[in-house]
């Protein structure tokens, strides 16, 4: 859409204000109900599809109905000092209690099933069992069922073994306890202060009640409409649930940006930035990775709806200002306002709409140029340094000890570590051995891999289906650590060496060829085992998603640059795209600095968080740069950044680590963008519009 058509669209909306107002009201109300009802269409597994680990987990889930990408529960028992944990009767009693408490359909394995000392602690009194509950699908409902099973298992063990100390831990129970802990008094006060700041900041910036409400209405309409579009697309392709976090925050920041612009500037910059941003997100969506496709489609929907609200809803809201405060054309007040906001020269095709505070590309007098350049350079320096830290980002779930400080699950984890057992117990691997292969031989071979605590092939019926078998592999290190990643690589390499003539390792398990092969593991031509489990999810993200970023990011940047250069000039395009890429990469670096090396010390950052935060940072940076180049007020960027930061902090401050990761990423993205957005100007009093006018509302 050309800028002239954009102006005509806004004028048309003003002439038919009732119809458009009713339409957007329907979007907010009816669309909101549809969006909430359609959340179930989104993929809720938070795993990277298409990778070898994902395909292995799918095969395990289809055959066994549990486990796979869902980490097991870990039942921990500490017997009285006089008890011998290696005693057969003691081991069987613990195994029987675990089996009864786990419920129907569960798979369990312990020392009694395997005789492997890896299930016993070094203190001689502690043992553990792995429990895969019957309902354990990798979606929100399945995860909730696993969390409920943890409470049932804990109560059942304490009833069956009253003389022993029993605990239940695991990745999901630790995350559940973190969510249940709730924010303390200080955090609640901070959340309230941020919520108040979200309301006060627009009120102070726009100096009117409408200025407080209008950006929220624009953001609400954009968010609802974008979610409905994304959920419609989810009926045809896999869309991850992470878009629910990306859409509303991006919509809010864009809404504040757009409302801060004079109407004619907002219309033109909205079309220019919207076309470039939508094209860049569409380029991301074309890459064969579910997470990239998800954030790309969500970003495309947000850009489209944000442009639509800017052209049709924003003029309606501006025209709703009280008429008694309107400045009539030719009045002394209007003349005074015109003198205050006299535009300066700007460059590029957007110069025709240069606004009231010159953008970063504006041409200024020689004496004032360097004072403007120096703050920009100083603001750019930390962003470049943080971008340099981005390659050091470690993708994966936070280490177990950082998930929660106290609670029943943390007590179980502390009991394990006190007994000398490693935290890798919480994220075992599962090897699906095909029919015809010797599961015991596979387990013996994997057990010799450095970094493996134990590998066992249980004989129980729950571990063997249709001729295939599952081998449980417990690593010493958690999968997000360098040691855990190296162990997974070594396990896959060992199995590849054991099956040199086998089918592709990602193929579905099937019948083997005639026996008689290397190490007695399998016959020649058999299908190789599949390595799944909760520990492979992070590796799939690194290989299947982050491995595409060196191609996806330049592709999106080039597409955005081409469109911006055609519509706004090469200078504007270069500044906007470079700033957007730096903001996205710098946000990832900030996450690494704060969470991996900072006080939280999580050791890793949840894999999908940098993708969502980076897309958000790129979008808001593109929009701000284009608006400034068009002559929009310099203070709009900091105000939008502050509103976005207040919004996410008001919702996310608390003890839940993954939510805190996401919230801090959003907050750092907008603050970094504001820091590098040029020197903000002072808010200029707006001239009130004449009702039923065209776009001359300033």
Q: What is the pLDDT of residues 320-347, one digit of tens each?
A: 765 444 444 333 444 444 443 443 444 4
Three-state SS sequence of 223-238 = HHHHHHHHHHHCCCCC
What is the pLDDT, as a whole number, of residue 503? 53
> Quick check: 363 pLDDT over 70?
no
* Cα dihedral 579→584→588→593 (10° resolution): 20
> 464: burial class by Cβ within 10 Å (0-12, 13-18, 19+)?
middle
- Name beta bridge partners: 353: none
CA atoms within 13 A on the CB side of 617: 39
- Helical (H) or strand (E) element with 381: helix 366-389
What is the pLDDT, as a whole number, of residue 632? 73
DSSP summary character for residue 508: P
| pLDDT-wise least confident of 4-8, 100-104, 124-128, 507-511 | 507-511
What is the pLDDT, as a whole number, of residue 373? 61
> Quick check: 429 pLDDT over 90?
yes
- Name beta bridge partners: 108: 131
* Cα dihedral 425→426→429→432 (10° resolution): 110
For the stretch 455-494, pLDDT in tens is 999 998 889 988 889 999 999 999 888 899 999 999 999 9
CA separation, residue 123 to residues 77, 79, 365, 418 (Å): 12, 10, 77, 8
Mean pLDDT of all residues in 646-669: 84
CA angle 165, 167, 170 (to 5 degrees): 155
If pLDDT is split at 50, 70 and 90, which confidence band does 350 have?
low
If pLDDT is split at 50, 70 and 90, which confidence band does 376 have?
low
Cβ atoms 444, 462 nearer than 8 A: no
CA distance 173 to 359: 51
Q: What percent of the chain has pLDDT over 70?
A: 82
Tokens in use for 305? 């709806």
Who wins on pLDDT, 369 or 247?
247
Cβ atoms 141, 115 nearer than 8 A: no
**Cα 247 from chain centroid?**
11
Who wins on pLDDT, 672 or 228?
228
Burial letters 628-637, b for 16+ CB under 10 A, else e: bbbbbbbbbb
End-to-end distance of the chain based on CA atoms, in angstroms? 24
Mean pLDDT score across all residues of the chain: 81
Phi and psi (nearest 5°) for 78?
-120, 115
What is the pLDDT, as a whole number, of residue 637? 75
CA separation, residue 34 to residues 27, 30, 44, 153, 476 (Å): 10, 6, 18, 38, 46
Tokens in use for 101? 């408490």
- Name beta bridge partners: 77: 127, 166
Who wins on pLDDT, 7 or 539?
539
Tokens in use for 683? 């808010």
Tokens in use for 73? 């529960």
| pLDDT-wise least confident of 56-70, 155-169, 374-388 | 374-388
For the stretch 165-175, pLDDT in tens is 999 999 988 88
CA distance 180 to 151: 13
| pLDDT-wise least confident of 18-32, 98-112, 634-648 | 634-648
What is the pLDDT, as a whole number, of residue 481? 87
What is the pLDDT, as a whole number, of residue 474? 95
For the stretch 23-54, pLDDT in tens is 888 988 898 899 998 888 888 777 766 778 88
What is the pLDDT, as a whole number, of residue 511? 37
CA distance 648 to 665: 10
CA distance 322 to 332: 19
If pLDDT is split at 50, 70 and 90, which confidence band does 226 have?
very high
Cβ atoms 644, 663 nearer than 8 A: no
**Which single residue is written with the structure tokens 């117990």?**
425
> Quick check: 430 pLDDT over 80?
yes
Mean pLDDT of all residues in 96-117: 91
**Which single residue is written with the structure tokens 């009864």?**
100
Who wins on pLDDT, 216 or 268?
216
DSSP summary character for residue 692: T
CA distance 623 to 381: 21
Cβ atoms 130, 109 nearer than 8 A: yes
Q: What is the largest CA-CA distance in the chain?
A: 98
CA separation, residue 191 to residues 176, 198, 252, 657 (Å): 21, 11, 18, 16
CA distance 77 to 94: 8
If pLDDT is split at 50, 70 and 90, which confidence band does 362 have?
very low
Complete edge-to-edge strand list for the sheet that includes strand 107-109: 107-109, 126-132, 73-78, 165-169
> Quick check: 366 pLDDT over 50?
no
Tokens in use for 266? 């907002």
SS3 state at 168 = strand
What is the pLDDT, as a whole number, of residue 220? 92
Who wins on pLDDT, 572 or 299?
299
CA distance 18 to 519: 79
Tokens in use for 650? 């008001």
Q: What is the pTM of this model?
A: 0.83
CA distance 31 to 501: 55
Q: What percent of the chain has pLDDT over 90?
A: 34
CA distance 172 to 179: 11
Cβ atoms 502, 485 nearer than 8 A: no
SS3 state at 354 = coil
CA distance 420 to 586: 39
CA distance 231 to 409: 35
Cβ atoms 240, 297 nearer than 8 A: no
Mean pLDDT of all residues in 83-100: 91
> Quick check: 423 pLDDT over 70?
yes
């Amino acid at each position: 859409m050309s800028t002239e058509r954009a102006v005509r669209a806004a004028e048309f909306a003003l002439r038919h204000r009732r119809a458009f107002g009713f339409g957007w009201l329907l979007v907010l109300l009816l669309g909101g109900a549809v969006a909430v009802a359609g959340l179930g269409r989104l993929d809720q597994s938070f795993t990277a599809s298409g990778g070898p680990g994902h395909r292995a987990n799918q095969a395990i889930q289809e055959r066994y109905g549990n486990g796979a990408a869902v980490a097991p529960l870990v039942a921990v028992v500490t017997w009285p000092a006089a008890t011998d944990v290696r005693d057969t009767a003691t081991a069987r009693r613990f195994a029987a209690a675990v089996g009864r408490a786990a419920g129907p359909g569960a798979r369990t394995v312990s020392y009694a099933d395997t005789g492997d000392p890896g299930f016993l602690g070094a203190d001689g009194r502690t043992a553990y069992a792995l429990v895969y509950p019957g309902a354990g699908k990798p979606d929100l409902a399945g995860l909730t069922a696993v969390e409920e099973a943890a409470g049932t298992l804990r109560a059942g063990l304490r009833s069956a073994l009253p003389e022993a100390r029993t605990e239940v831990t695991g990745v999901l129970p630790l995350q559940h306890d973190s969510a249940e802990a709730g924010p303390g008094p200080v955090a609640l006060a901070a959340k309230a202060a941020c919520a108040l700041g979200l309301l006060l900041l627009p009120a102070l910036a726009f100096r009117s009640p409408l200025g407080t409400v209008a950006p929220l209405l624009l953001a609400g309409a954009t968010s609802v409409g974008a979610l409905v579009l994304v959920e419609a697309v989810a009926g045809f392709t896999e869309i991850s649930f992470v878009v629910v976090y990306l859409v509303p925050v991006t919509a809010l920041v864009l809404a504040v940006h757009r409302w801060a612009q004079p109407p004619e500037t907002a219309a033109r910059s909205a079309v220019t930035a919207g076309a470039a941003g939508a094209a860049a997100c569409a380029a991301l969506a074309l890459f064969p990775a579910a997470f990239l496709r998800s954030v790309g489609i969500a970003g495309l929907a947000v850009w489209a709806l944000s442009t639509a609200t800017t052209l049709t809803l924003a003029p309606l809201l501006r025209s709703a200002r009280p008429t008694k405060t309107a400045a009539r054309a030719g009045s002394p007040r209007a003349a005074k306002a015109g003198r205050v906001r006299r535009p300066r020269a700007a460059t590029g095709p957007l110069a025709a709409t240069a606004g009231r505070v010159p953008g970063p590309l504006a041409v200024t007098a020689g004496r004032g140029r360097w004072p403007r350049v120096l703050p920009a350079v100083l603001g750019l320096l930390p962003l470049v340094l943080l971008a340099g830290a981005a390659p050091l980002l470690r993708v994966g779930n936070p280490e177990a000890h950082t998930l929660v400080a106290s609670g029943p699950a943390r007590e179980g984890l502390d009991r394990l570590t006190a007994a000398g057992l490693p935290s890798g117990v919480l994220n075992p691997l599962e090897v699906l051995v095909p029919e015809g292969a010797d599961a015991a031989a596979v387990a013996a071979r994997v057990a010799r891999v450095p970094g493996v605590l134990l590998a066992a092939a249980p004989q129980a019926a729950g571990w063997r289906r249709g001729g295939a078998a599952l081998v449980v592999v417990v690593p010493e290190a958690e999968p997000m650590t360098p040691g855990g990643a190296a162990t997974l690589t070594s396990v896959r390499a060992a199995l590849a060496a054991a099956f040199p003539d086998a089918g592709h390792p990602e193929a579905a398990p099937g019948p083997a060829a005639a026996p008689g092969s290397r190490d007695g593991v399998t016959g020649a031509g058999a299908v190789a085992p599949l390595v799944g489990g909760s520990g492979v999810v992070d590796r799939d993200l690194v290989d299947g998603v982050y491995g595409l970023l060196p191609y996806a990011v330049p592709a999106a940047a080039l597409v955005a640059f081409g469109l911006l250069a055609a519509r706004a000039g090469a200078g504007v395009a270069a500044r906007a795209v470079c700033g957007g890429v730096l903001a996205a990469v710098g946000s990832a670096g900030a996450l690494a600095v704060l969470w991996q090396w900072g006080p939280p010390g999580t050791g890793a950052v949840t894999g999908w968080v940098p993708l969502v935060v980076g897309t958000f940072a790129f979008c808001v940076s593109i929009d701000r740069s284009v608006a400034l180049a068009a002559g929009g007020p310099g203070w709009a960027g900091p105000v939008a950044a502050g509103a976005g930061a207040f919004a996410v902090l008001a919702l996310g401050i608390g003890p839940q680590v993954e939510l805190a990761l996401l919230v801090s990423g959003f907050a750092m993205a907008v603050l970094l963008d504001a820091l590098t957005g040029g020197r903000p100007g002072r808010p200029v009093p707006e001239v009130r519009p004449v009702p039923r006018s065209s776009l001359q509302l300033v």
